[in-house]
Amino acid sequence: MTDTVIGAAPRGRSLWSDARARLLGNKAAVAGLFVLALLFAAAIVGPYLTPWRFDAVNKDDVWAAPLTAGHLLGADSLGRDLLARLLMGLRVSLAIGVVATAVSLVIGVAWGATAGYAGGRVDEAMMRIVDVLFALPFIFFVILLMVAFGSSIVLMFVAIGAVEWLTMARIVRGQTRALKSREFVEAARAIGMTPARIVARHIVPNLLGPVVVYVTLTIPGVILAESFLSFLGLGVRPPMASLGSLIANGAQDMELAPWLLIFPSAVMAATLMSFNFIGDGLRDALDPKDR
Q: Which amino acid, 26?
A: N
Range of lowest pLDDT (8-17, 60-69, 84-93, 105-114): 8-17
Cβ-Cβ contacts under 8 Å for 155 (sequence gap 6 or more): 145, 146, 149
pLDDT at 226 over 50: yes
**Percent of the chain whose pLDDT exceeds 70:** 91
Q: 65 lies in a domain?
A: no
pLDDT-based confidence at residue 14 (cuts at 50, 70, 90): low
Per-chain mean pLDDT for the chain: 84
Angstrom distance (rounded) from CA 96 to CA 103: 10
Q: 58 lies in a domain?
A: no
* Domain hosting residue 159, numbered range: 18-46+72-290
Instruction: Find the CATH number of the domain harbouring 76.
Output: 1.10.3720.10
Angstrom distance (rounded) from CA 68 to CA 123: 62
Cβ-Cβ contacts under 8 Å for 32 (sequence gap 6 or more): 273, 274, 275, 276, 277, 278, 281
Q: 59 lies in a domain?
A: no
Angstrom distance (rounded) from CA 213 to CA 211: 5
Q: 127-166, pLDDT tens digit by residue?
A: 999 988 888 777 777 777 777 776 667 777 777 777 788 8
Domain total of the chain: 1
For range 16-41, the mean pLDDT: 87
Number of helices (H), then strands (E), belonging to the chain: the values are 11, 0
Q: 67 lies in a domain?
A: no
State the CB neighbour count (10 A cutoff) for residue 131: 10
Q: What is the pLDDT of residue 87?
A: 95
Torsion of CA 203, 138, 89, 103, to 10 degrees: -30
Tell me which residue of 254, 251, 174 sits closest to 207, measured CA to CA.
174
Q: 29 lies in a domain?
A: yes
pLDDT at 83 over 90: yes
pLDDT-based confidence at residue 288 (cuts at 50, 70, 90): low
pLDDT at 86 over 90: yes
Q: 132 lies in a domain?
A: yes
For range 268-287, the mean pLDDT: 86
CB 52 within 8 A of CB 71: yes
pLDDT at 59 over 80: yes
pLDDT-based confidence at residue 190 (cuts at 50, 70, 90): confident
Q: 53 lies in a domain?
A: no
pLDDT at 6 over 60: no
